[in-house]
Amino acid sequence: MAAPSGGWTFSPDLSPEQLDNIRGLIAANGLADGASPAPAAAAPAAALEADDEKRAAEEAFAKLLAENPGAKEVAPGVYAVQGGS
- What's the pLDDT at 75? 85
Q: Do 26 and 49 fall into the same domain?
A: no
Domains in the chain: how many in total?
A: 2
Task: Give tens-digit pLDDT for 6-59.
Answer: 677 888 888 889 888 888 888 887 777 655 555 555 557 777 788 888 899 889
| Position 85 in a domain | no
pLDDT given for residue 1 in this prediction: 46
- Is 9 within the bounds of a domain? yes
By residue range, what is the domain housing residue 23?
1-39
pLDDT of residue 35: 55
SS3 per-residue string spanning the chain: CCCCECCECCCCCCCHHHHHHHHHHHHHCCCHHHCCCCCCCCCCHHHHHHHHHHHHHHHHHHHHHHHCCCCEEEECCEEECCCCC
Same domain, 34 and 63: no
Q: What pLDDT score does 52 carry? A: 87
Residues 28 and 2 in one domain: yes
